[in-house]
A and B are shown apart, each in its own frame.
Chain A
């Protein structure tokens, strides 16, 4: 089974900061990595698919990069509404999720 490791587990940042979250796969997953945002009490929302493609309607301050085993999600200028938990999903071999990064405002 493919394991997905996200880091950090918790991140505190200020409005306007550039924030980078990472997700590491235990084996090559090519480009089949998605990022989701989940706010408290809400359904998860797809942000990025195929590692770097922005889902329709998602603000351009969100971007993804990486391939193979290492991937990142970057928020170029953190906004208050970005407070949420972010998790990654690999779908190269069935489905495995990362443990999540909880992002809070400093």
Chain B
């Protein structure tokens, strides 16, 4: 059974660095890519970045300068780090699995998301 679960601090201060963890089960990180998607308060979903099965990464240009995605395959965990947080980074952060496929894969399984509030 494929599962993903996000974890991390719920409240952050402006200018701090956000660290989130996505713990997966039911599949291997060396077989499937995992992406991070966020939903700012009152807005639609936005892809942030993906770490592929081979370990390479791609980032949305809108956050590329602030974002880093990494993983620990032995622990089945994917990490998101984003610096210079601002109140507009407030929202729900999801991790989601890419199925193995050719081309640009969709997301087939998602975590429930973690709410992050950036406020002083």
Return A81 CB to nearest CB of chain B, in Å: 18
Q: Which of B47, B107, B109, B112 contacts A41 (CB 8 A)?
A: B112
Per the 8 Å Cβ criterion, residues 28-68 of B in contact with A are 35, 37, 44-47, 58, 60
Return B23 CB to nearest CB of chain A, in Å: 14
Which residues of the other chain, A, contact B37 by a CB distance below 8 angstroms?
95, 97
CA of A91 to CA of B101, assembled, Å: 12
Q: Interface SS of chain B: helix, strand, loop or mixed? A: loop
Tally A-B pairs: CB < 8 A.
Answer: 58
Which residues of the other chain, B, contact A77 by a CB distance below 8 angstroms?
none
How extensive is the interface on chain B, given as a class? 20 to 34
CA of A92 to CA of B103, assembled, Å: 8
Interchain CB contact under 8 A, A91 and B112: no
Interchain CB contact under 8 A, B94 and A92: no
CA of A25 to CA of B103, assembled, Å: 19
Return A14 CB to nearest CB of chain B, in Å: 27
Residue of B nearest to A89 (CB): B106
Interchain CB contact under 8 A, B108 and A46: yes
Return A20 CB to nearest CB of chain B, in Å: 20
CA of A93 to CA of B105, assembled, Å: 10
Interchain CB contact under 8 A, B44 and A99: yes
CA of A34 to CA of B46, assembled, Å: 15
Given A87-B45, A95-B35, A99-B44, A46 contacting B112 (CB threshold 8 A): no
Interface centre among A42, A93, A94 (most CB of B within 10 A): A94
| B113 close to chain A: CB less than 8 A | yes
Given A87-B44, A97-B44, A46 contacting B107 (CB threshold 8 A): yes
| B93 close to chain A: CB less than 8 A | no
List 12 interface pairs A-B (beta carbons < 8 Å), by A numbering: A32-B103, A36-B110, A42-B112, A43-B109, A44-B107, A46-B106, A49-B108, A89-B45, A94-B60, A95-B104, A97-B37, A100-B44
